[in-house]
Structure 1
Amino acid sequence: MDINGKTALVTGGTDGIGLEIARQLLAKGAHVIVCSRRENLLASARLEGLEAIQADLSTAKGCEELAAAFADRPIDMLINNAGMSGNFGPGEPLDLALTDRAVFLNLNAPMHLIGHFLPGLLQRPEGVVINVTSGLAIAPRAGGPVYCATKAGLRSFTQSLRHNLRDTNIHVIEALPPVVDTAMTRGRVNGRKMSAKECAAEIVDAIMTNSAEANVGMVKLLRLAYSISPALARRIMIKY
């Protein structure tokens, strides 16, 4: 896709990977709208030239309200990036309220938004849907069961969606980041982390080249390991 002149909606686009995607799309000539629950982050995004809308995508109502804000405004790119960990550690009780919120935000919200925006995207000369999953959608880690489950679900949905839209004008892309240095991973995951800027650059490149998948950074090695031995890849990642 030629990004110049296109309109993109980036959920969770006020920090982390989402903000870097938004910045890079903006630099390539796109009009970029980001959304977030936090007004202070929205204000900062506006100072960078991004259009910013307040939205809570952890509920069906929030997704519907965001879509309603675009009733008369077409978009060319829907980038489902918003997410949360919803994790619990060994021996900790499972917070069911937090789990429900994480499941909706990570998995249901992308499906709701695609449902709302798909009719409009089908009317565009070219449309793109990008679902940001994770390398953990391929092989999970013990420290993030809720997050891994939702990302695996979104990966499956994305693959089916791509097949169903194969004869349309819409390109469906799955972006699979590795561990990235964001607010969500700080204090939770140790070890080497990719920068959000580098991660976003690979995702934007996938948009420009109409790739089916963006296996970002170390996920390329994980995909290779999984192709050789799925059981080995799972054993490695479960303790990561």
Structure 2
Amino acid sequence: MDLKGKHVLLTGGTNGIGKALAFQLRDAGANVVVTGRNAERVAAMRAEGFEVIEAGLSNAAGVDALVDGWGDRALDVLINNAGQLVDHDFRKMPPDSDAADDAIYANLNAPIRLATALMSHLQSRPEASIVNVTSGLAIAPAARQPVYCATKSGLRFYTLALREQLKGTRIKVIEALPPVVDTQMNDGNPMKKMPVEECARQILKAILNDREEANIGMTKALRFAESLSPGLAKRVTLRF
């Protein structure tokens, strides 16, 4: 897809991968609107010239506020990038069920609700894309992050099924599967981290080339291991 003049809604676009992607999308000629919930980061992106719709996506009210904020505007690309990582490790302490509920909603329910609410906008365009950012952990889980892994694998399967439903239409459905990326979410993770700018670059490349799946960085190796032996891939990731 040629992004010049295209209208893009990018969730979670005030920090991390989303922030880097917002700048790269704008450099590619897109008209980019981002979402965010942290007042300081929202203000910083507005100072950079971006329109920001303030909305937290961990509940239905936040998703509805975003849809209302978008209104009847044209939409060519919906990028479901916002996500939450929640501690859920019984080996350390009893997990917070409310925090898990928030993460489940933000990572899985919100992308589904946004795709549903905004589908008519996308269907009215000459060409359009839905980009769901999942994770390498959607392929094989890490023991210390069961909620995150469950939501990302759920979004992966939703993406695969949605792509099949929309086959033959003007809407492309793209999945981006990042590895561990150097974001605030991964502070304290001892694994080697990919720079956010490089991860964003590879997501942008997938959009420009209409690729159905973008396995980014070490996710490529994990996908290869999974193709040889799903059990091997699980044994590798479950240690983390």
TM-score range, shorter chain: over 0.9
Q: Which residue of 2 aligns with 1:6?
A: 6
Q: Which residue of 1 aligns with 2:239?
A: 239
- Alpha-carbon shift at residue 56 of structure 1 (Å): 1.3
Which whole-Å deviations, capped at 9, do the CAs of 1:24-50 have from their partners, x for residues lacking one? 000111110011111211111112221
Identical residues among aligned pairs (%): 49
Tell me the TM-score normalized by structure 2: 0.98
In the alignment, structure 1 residue 94 sits paired with structure 2 residue 95: yes
Tell me the TM-score normalized by structure 1: 0.98
Mapping of 1:61-100 within 5 angstroms? 61-89=61-89, 90-100=91-101
Which whole-Å deviations, capped at 9, do the CAs of 1:64-116 have from their partners, x for residues lacking one? 12111222211111000101111223231121100100000000000010011
Distance 2:115 2:60 in 1: 12
Secondary structure of the equivalent of 2:185? Answer: coil
Mapping of 1:103-182 within 5 angstroms? 103-182=104-183
The residue type paired with residue 207 of structure 1 is: I
- Alpha-carbon shift at residue 21 of structure 1 (Å): 0.9
Q: Which residue of 2 aligns with 1:197?
A: 197
Query: Which structure 2 segments of 5+ residues have no match?
Result: none
Q: Is the 8 A contact 2:60 2:110 kept in 1?
A: yes
RMSD of aligned alpha carbons: 0.8
Choose 31-40 or 65-74, whichever is displaced more: 65-74
Distance 2:126 2:154 in 1: 29
In the alignment, structure 1 residue 206 sits paired with structure 2 residue 206: yes
Query: Which structure 1 segments of 5+ residues have no match?
Result: none
Secondary structure of the equivalent of 1:45? Answer: helix
Q: Which residue of 1 aligns with 2:46?
A: 46
Which whole-Å deviations, capped at 9, do the CAs of 1:191-224 have from their partners, x for residues lacking one? 2100010000000000000000010011001000
Distance 2:161 2:34 in 1: 26
Which whole-Å deviations, capped at 9, do the CAs of 1:173-208 have from their partners, x for residues lacking one? 000000000000002x11210001000000000000
Distance 2:191 2:110 in 1: 30
The residue type paired with residue 194 of structure 2 is: M
Distance 2:223 2:84 in 1: 23
Mapping of 1:19-30 within 5 angstroms? 19-30=19-30
The residue type paired with residue 48 of structure 2 is: E
Secondary structure of the equivalent of 1:184? Answer: helix
Secondary structure of the equivalent of 1:63? Answer: helix
